[in-house]
Amino acid sequence: MDRDPECIFCKIIAGELPSAQVYEDDLLVAFRDIRPAAPVHVLIVPRQHIPDNNAVTEADAELSARLFAVVPRIAAAEGIARDGYRLILNTGPHGRQEIPHLHMHLLGGQRMQHPMG
């Protein structure tokens, strides 16, 4: 499994830095965002170090499918499945991606603001 020794999320996944983990499987780990933007704010993160969405290819089809497929399960566990939630996947400077390790934000527990920008 690829990892970047400088990457904060790789360190969290390896257990070298603490996190409030809510889910894990062979491909993904999910933990609470350290700066929550909503009552529920979970980051769903591939174990493999993929820097951003531009680095995702067809070879990552299983991982990509899993990334979406675990959302209903985590949302149900967090009690936000019925009322709904927002998924965000920031990419690059214009997307305001802060951590260069692919991750999906799961936000819920309140009605989100519109517009998204």
User: 21 vs 58, which CB is nearer to ligand DGP?
Assistant: 21
User: Interface with ligand DGP by CB under 6 A: which residues?
Assistant: 8, 19, 31-35, 43, 90, 96-99
| Cβ distance to ligand DGP smaller for residue 94 or 114 | 94
State yes or no: is 103 an active-site residue.
yes
Catalytic residue among 94, 103, 105, 114: 103
Exposure class string for 5-16: b at 16+ Cβ within 10 A, else e: eebbbbbbbeee
User: How distant is the alpha carbon of residue 21 from its chain centre?
Assistant: 11
Which residues are bridge partners to 66 per DSSP? none
User: Which residues have a catalytic role annotated?
Assistant: 103
